[in-house]
Structure 1
Amino acid sequence: MKNPQAEEKRVLVYEHVGNPTNTDEISLNGLTIYLASTFSFVLAQLQGVGTRAEPNNLTKYRTDVRRMIGREEHAPTCVKRVLITGGAGQIAYALLPHLISGRVFGPQVRLMVHLLDIDGTENALRGVQMEIEDAASPVVVGVVTTTDLRVAFTDVDYAILLGGFPRLPGMERKELLAKNVEIITMHAAALDEYASRAVKVLVVANPANTLALIAKKRAASLPAENFSCLTRLDHDRLRGMIAKKIDSLKIPDAHGAVTAMQVRNVIIWGNHSSTQVPSAAKAQVRLGGRWVPVLDIIGDEEAVWLHDELVTQVQQRGAEILAARKLSSALSAAQAIANHFKD
């Protein structure tokens, strides 16, 4: 007796290949594809025997089958050089899986990854390079590890500036400014001299907003609009906290757990520091298939939380994580960087 689960699944795809005797068999993921020259059969299968099928239907049929078996191929359209400073650090280590998976820039973009760090980190950089190679990334075509600014910045299309003095427990971001101005000035000068003229720059080292301004001024030959800083982390923290609060209210229309993906239109005003002003005034949450203003859900009893406690929680979240881990935010920062570029 045949076991239906053990039977080999087969998908028949017929293509007109110009040679009626040309049949190729390709096996992939347990599926067998037969490519044959029975063009009329496919037309009949698409719209029924005796009916006329348009060529675009055949194309759609082929595409649907390839998607079903995971065979749709993404031809590379370009190679982009992506620089990460502080390449041996914990945020870079958390960010790299996002980049080398193809999720950030898409599966059609091939990446040449540049990793820069300070003297003395050569072995650590080499270890990261080996891990990238071992990951068998579908998009990475090469890895450059260096402590030399010229090598690191030459022709880069994206520069993610993580490198800076680390924030220590009890240290405010403003205390980092004096230490990190020198670093960002050197990196901006290298961008100005060596990078692609269309390079997109994301400053993550803190205080990010101020350092982004310094970098933009120092790399004066590059378009000012190509510089940005990472406020997305605060933005996503705010979304997550609102979602958690609404979920705790057990609203019937929620139909399950409320997640950050169901929250939109939050705003972070000001610098990436304890002086920022998170705002949920225009925030909405998706419940029961419709977007509802958060202010309509949060009652008077929760208004204090929304306008006071929530603001403080977002402002102090980084310090809270630092106190708990004895290390600054890495996982969430990496996710925010990926979202910043992807969205």
Structure 2
Amino acid sequence: MGAREAGLPAVVPAVGLPSRVTIWEVGARDGLQNEQAVVPVEVKLEFLDRLAAAGLGVLEATSFVHPRWVPQLADAEDLLARLRQADGVRYPVLVPNERGLDRALAAGVRHVAIFGSATETFAKRNLNRTLDEQYAMFEPVVARARAEGLDVRAYVSMCFGDPWEGPVDPTRVAAVGKRLMDLGCSQLSLGDTIGVATPGQVEAVLGQVAAAGVGVDAVAVHFHDTYGQALSNTLAALRLGVTTVDSSAGGLGGCPYAESATGNLATEDLVWMLDGLGVETGVDLDKLADTSAWMAERLGRPSPSRVVRALRG
């Protein structure tokens, strides 16, 4: 039997896991933002169309950061103007500040995300703000977005380790997350930006976040796979009640402000695990693997996803 015919895992449900998980697909934004060669907008649009056709219900489409900082996403307005939004699919975008929100509103976006930091050094490098100053920058963004009826997600970077500061205190992550949620955000995504977390750390951070008053139903996790721990960390989070997981088709991605950050958790690898556990995602793994193999061809290199390599050679 070839790999294609063997492309479904045995289903053996495990106790204590959610019945369904929402996958927050970040491939078109976080996955592509660090590519050195500019990906044509036509390719990005087809990528998003293919991801929607594979059954993904949340597709982070782009970011309204200044083009000087992330040239790959300088086509944000053009992409959104030409995007054919699939029924029932959300297309959130990142907004770093009020100017970014202005651009998002002008483009008719209904779901936005802000991105904060759990550490002082990364806040200064990524936001040009101190840890405390970031809240003053985000407050008017969230207030205006909510007043316009938009949903707002809050990302927190460096929740487990920072390349300049080392391991991050879980109580600090919880304090940052709580302040962002108190601004009016509806969901908190905890990021392992450099991929150093282990399952015990995940339990500790989620425990402190819960103790700070942020319900697990409002928490998402965002793991990078630098040390091969993204799936085990995700499973630890699911066992604690998390039901939203960020991932990137084909394992694309990194962070332009953290050189040690490698690719995100591959969506195919996540779906394979969840399918095997009997956890519903609504995603067609075969179509998704085809999509990532297609994108890998356009980027001129093999997909880093283990499942894509296994299913598509």
Class of the TM-score when normalised by the shorter of the 2 chains: 0.3 to 0.5
In our comparison, the structure showing a higher alpha carbon Rg is 1
Which TM-score applies when normalising by structure 1?
A: 0.32
Which TM-score applies when normalising by structure 2?
A: 0.34
Q: By percentage of residues, which structure has more strand?
A: 1
* Higher RCO (Cα < 8 Å, 6 or more apart): 2
